[in-house]
Structures are given as C-alpha cells and as structure tokens.
Amino acid sequence: MPMNENKYEEPGISRHVLEMITVANEYCLFFEKAENYTREDIFLFFQKIAPMIYLKGSLLPETDVADDTTPEKFVTEEEWEQIFRVLRKHFNKMDVYYIHDHLFDSKQASLADNMADIYQDMKDFLQLYQKNTSPARQSAVALLRDLYKWHWGPALLSALGAVHNILFKDQVDPGLFDNDHDWSY
C-alpha cells in the first residue's frame, strides 16, 4: 500500500528543504569563485539570491533531532578566511557599513564578514545534509533553522540593506547620507 507523501513526509526531505538546498548550493558555488567576478557582479548576485535564501530559511520545517550532540562543522577557518579576503579586496572601502543594534546604537559591520558567515552556515548545512542519513539531515535542517533566527538571517538582512544602498546610491536623496562618508566609489 503506497504511503501518502504529505502525511508521512520526513521533514528533512520536504519540498522546502530541497528548495533551500538548491539556493544554498547556488550561493556557495558563486562565493567559492568570487575572485572571478567583479564587485558589481557580486553585489548584483547577492541582491537577487539573498531574498530567496531568506524566504527559504523562513519556510524550513520544525525538525526533531534524534541526536543532541553538536553537529559537525565542515568549513575550516582557512576556507572562511579565503572567501572573506577575496570579498574584502573586491569591496575595498564599500565593505564597511553601519547598523543599529537593539539599543539603537550604531555599530560597524562588514559586507565581507557577513557574506562569508552566510557562506559558512550554508556550506556546513550542505555538507552535513550530504551525509545522507536521517539523523544527519535532521540535524542539518534543525541547525540551519536555528542559525536563521539569530545568525545568518540577521546578517543577510543587514548586508542586503547595505548592498541595496550601494546599488541605488545615485537614486537616493544624498541628504540622507552623512557628509563624513565618501559615497563616490
């Protein structure tokens, strides 16, 4: 007797998870070759993929994790650093932007740092998911969903806002920007 896929679907292989895998993979493949792209290419790619990643992250299912050990990390510090350095070199002075924290104090942020952090979370998710066991898939989905709430979700949103401002700086009222910052890159 065939099982009803909707009723018995494993959360770790749901449609939303498979769609997240697709966009996470696109993100990782692009940033692994970032040295081949221009700064504008990177900004335009991020502008388009960031909303998809955010949406797919919001749709990840609640997943019970059978194994409560800390999931394995796959991206090494050297790999993260390589992505970060390439992005920082491309972005130059445009790398730094400012955000408001929960107390409405301004603090400095880095596009290269945020994009590399998002890469690390996406790549770790993909690598853990590829172990192709139910517990590994469950852990991968649960961890990515958790990191969405407090790590890569907020980083993605703040970086997307900064990229938006860079891409459309000529169409924004210049009076909105302070006079201490040189926006003529």
H-assigned helices in the chain: 5-8, 15-32, 39-58, 77-91, 111-129, 134-150, 152-167
> Encoding tokens for residue 17?
């998870």
**What is the rounded CA–CA span in Å between residue 20 and residue 147?**
14
Q: Which residues, 6 or more positions from 149, have their beta carbon under 8 angstroms from its beta carbon?
A: none
CATH code where residue 70 lies? 1.20.120.1550
pLDDT band with cut points at 50, 70 and 90 for residue 8? very low
Q: Which domain holds residue 95?
A: 10-173
Alpha-carbon distance 161 to 26, whole Å? 21
- Domain membership of residue 185 (yes or no) is no
User: What is the per-residue pLDDT across 16-68, written as a single tens digit (0 to 9) for each?
Assistant: 999 999 999 999 999 999 999 999 999 999 999 999 999 999 999 988 887 77
55 lies in some domain? yes
Written as six digits, the tokens of 104 are 């409405």
Quick one: average pLDDT of 4-27?
80
Residue 98: phi and psi, rounded to 5, are -120, 140
Both structure tokens of 56 = 């797919």
Asked, for residue 179, whether it belongs to a domain, the answer is no
Share the mean pLDDT of the chain: 88
Domains: count for the chain: 1
Q: Per the domain annotation, does 5 fall within a domain? A: no
User: CA-to-CA distance for 166 and 148, rounded, in angstroms?
Assistant: 24
In 3D space, the residue among 56, 1, 71 whose CA is nearest the CA of residue 23 turns out to be: 56
Confidence at residue 3, expressed as pLDDT on a 0 to 100 scale:
37
- Both tokens of 131, joined, read 């172990």
Q: Is residue 94 part of a domain?
A: yes
The answer to whether position 91 is within a domain reads: yes
What pTM was computed for the model? 0.86
